[in-house]
Amino acid sequence: MIGTSAHPESTLVERVLAVLRERPWSAAELCHHVIGLPGAPAMVCERVAIALLGADPRVRQIAGGRWGLVPEVQGSPMLDECAFAVVDVETTGMRAGGSDRITEIAVVVLHRGRREVVFDSLVNPGRPIPPAICAITNITNDMVRGAPQFREVADQVLAALGGRIFVAHNARFDWGFVTAELRRARDLALDGPRLCTVRLSRRLVRGVRSCGLDNLCRFFGFQNGARHRAAGDALVTAELLHRLLVLAREEGARTIQDLAAIETRRMTSARRKRVATPTPPRADSCPEEMG
């Protein structure tokens, strides 16, 4: 913390600060699991949290009403200071830890509204691409035959990702494949913060029935001339992220911690009900863990 400040000093407050260093907590979670008031009503929990933490300059309420540490204490960088590595991979299938491999990867850096492709390459997967996948991506076995294997581009991928926030649409899918390839190529595993634009869209975008990439592009009026190609999808995902950052700031987000809190917060009952309503499936719809 910069400058002189005063804050309450107590064993209870220190216990609360310890758990807030891991992630933001709601007043109910703090009361039930840390403060020692299991079963306390929500209104009581809110009053207790305000009484205990409201005057503490190390703590503030963030998006969704949760309590979190201020950036100087938590070490969470400000959004305006962050560079985001927006990643898209095309693959031979869905099994990152099995026999499937990356066939194309692109990394687009988003920093203060500017988008730039810093890496884009076809990848020789070392196995045939199934015809159904070829039909979706328009990446053929002939196209990747002369492409580098992942181990040959691993250092360039690491350089593109280094020091930046990993972002992808269905981040678990892309993160899983990049991690699996790096493990095979360099015996390394990715580490660090990551954000999923599917999850953020579900919390921030109102009036959209599907958070698949095609539907969000239609909703916002984005143009993607290279759908299901790594650079095309990474560029439009970076454009989507830029729009989501604007919406997140409107909800008070200032740091990566704030953004992560939005991504992980529970959706309102009305929104859960709307999403659960059966609708015709869309071609771009998929679970969050799939790409």
DSSP class per residue in 138-197: ---HHHHHTSPPHHHHHHHHHHHHTTSEEEETTHHHHHHHHHHHHHHHHS----S-EEEH
Helices (H), the chain: 11-20, 27-30, 42-53, 71-74, 131-137, 141-145, 150-161, 171-186, 197-204, 213-220, 230-250, 256-264, 269-276
User: Hey, what are 225's tokens?
Assistant: 């001339």
Distance CA 98, CA 32 (A): 41
Residue 130 tokens, joined: 């199934």
Q: What is the distance between the alpha carbons of residues 262 and 169, in angstroms, rounded to a whole number?
A: 16
Q: Alpha-carbon distance 108 to 33, whole Å?
A: 41
Distances (CA, A) of 155 to 72, 86, 121, 150, 287: 33, 17, 13, 9, 30
CA distance 83 to 118: 12
1 burial via Cβ count (<10 Å: 0-12, 13-18, 19+)? exposed
Kindly state the DSSP code that residue 206 receives in the 8-state scheme.
Answer: -
Q: Which residues are catalytic?
A: 228
